[in-house]
Amino acid sequence: HAFKEGWPGARVSNLLDDDLMPAYTREGGLTPHITERICALALYAARTGADGILFTCSVFPQAEDLAKRLVRVPLLKPDEAMIAAALDAGSRIGVVATNPPAAPAAAAQLCAAAEGRGVEIHVLESVAEGAFAIGNAGDAATHDRMIVEAAERIADQVDILCLAQVSMAMARAAVQAKVKIPVLTSPGTAVARLK
C-alpha cells in the first residue's frame, strides 16, 4: 500500500518468514538462531537481484543491523526513516504499538538515534493491548479503533506520534483525523527514503 502511494513504479516482491515472531516468543527473545534467519532473508533478497531491501518487523533491529553489513544494496530497518523524521519533528515523541514488545523496541531505537545526534528526547509509549491479535484475525475496524484510542491517550503530551509497527500503517488516517499533531508510519517514511 505504501509503495502504491509513494512509489507506484517500484517492483515489489515479498519474502515472508511467518514463524519469526512465534520463534521470538518460544526462544525468549532475539537468539543467535533468529538473527541467522534474518541475515539469511537479507542475503536471499540480495541474491534475487533486489536494488534495495526493506525489513517490515520492528522487533529485530539488532539482527537487521548485522544483515545490513552482509549485503551490498541499501537495506532499511522498518523504523529507520520514521525515527529520523520523528527526531526532526520534536523532542517529545509518542510511540503507539499493538504488539507489546514493539513499543520498548521503538523507544530504544529512538533514544539511540537521539544519542547519536547529541539531542535529548522524551518518549512516551502507549500500547493498544490485544489489537495485534484482533488485526491478525481480520477485524481491521476494531484494530484501527483501538489504535486511535491508544494514540489519543498520549497525543496531548507529545510533539509527534509514531505508529511503531508496519501492520499499523493502514490506521494512520483514522489516527490523524483525531489528533492535532503529525502521525508517522514506518512504511510511508521508508518508501520515501528508499526511493
pLDDT tens track for 81-101: 999 999 999 999 999 999 998
> What is the average per-residue pLDDT within 156-167?
95
pLDDT of residue 97: 97
DSSP code, position 168? G
pLDDT of residue 160: 98
> What is the average per-residue pLDDT within 180-186?
95
Task: Pinpoint the alpha helices (H) of 28-163.
Answer: 32-47, 61-70, 80-89, 102-117, 131-136, 140-154
Beta bridge partners of 162: 95, 184
Backbone torsion region of residue 51, taken as left when φ is above 0, otherwise alpha when ψ lies between -120 and 50, otherwise beta: alpha
pLDDT band for position 57 (50/70/90)? confident
Give residues with Cβ within 8 angstroms of 124, minimum separation 6: 92, 93, 94, 95, 154, 157, 158
pLDDT in tens, 17-27: 999 999 999 99
- Is residue 89 within 8 A of residue 161, CB to CB? The reply is no
Cα–Cα distance measured from residue 107 to residue 103, given in angstroms and rounded to the nearest whole number:
6
Residue 69 has pLDDT above 90, yes or no: yes
Cα–Cα distance measured from residue 93 to residue 162, given in angstroms and rounded to the nearest whole number:
7
Nearest in space to 67 (alpha carbons), one of 75, 58, 56: 75
Cα–Cα distance measured from residue 144 to residue 142, given in angstroms and rounded to the nearest whole number:
5
Residue 58 has pLDDT above 80, yes or no: no
- Is residue 158 within 8 A of residue 135, CB to CB? The reply is no
Long-range contacts, 8-16 (Cβ 8 Å, 24+): 10/191, 10/194, 10/195, 13/48, 13/50, 15/41, 15/44, 15/45
pTM of this prediction exceeds 0.85: no
With both helix axes pointing from N to C terminus, report the angle between 32-47 and 20-27 in degrees, rounded to the nearest 10.
160
pLDDT band for position 175 (50/70/90)? very high
pLDDT of residue 79: 86
pLDDT of residue 166: 86
Q: What is the mean pLDDT of the chain?
A: 95
Cα–Cα distance measured from residue 187 to residue 54, given in angstroms and rounded to the nearest whole number:
9
Residue 61 has pLDDT above 90, yes or no: no
Residue 150 has pLDDT above 90, yes or no: yes
Cα–Cα distance measured from residue 23 to residue 26, given in angstroms and rounded to the nearest whole number:
5
pLDDT of residue 88: 96
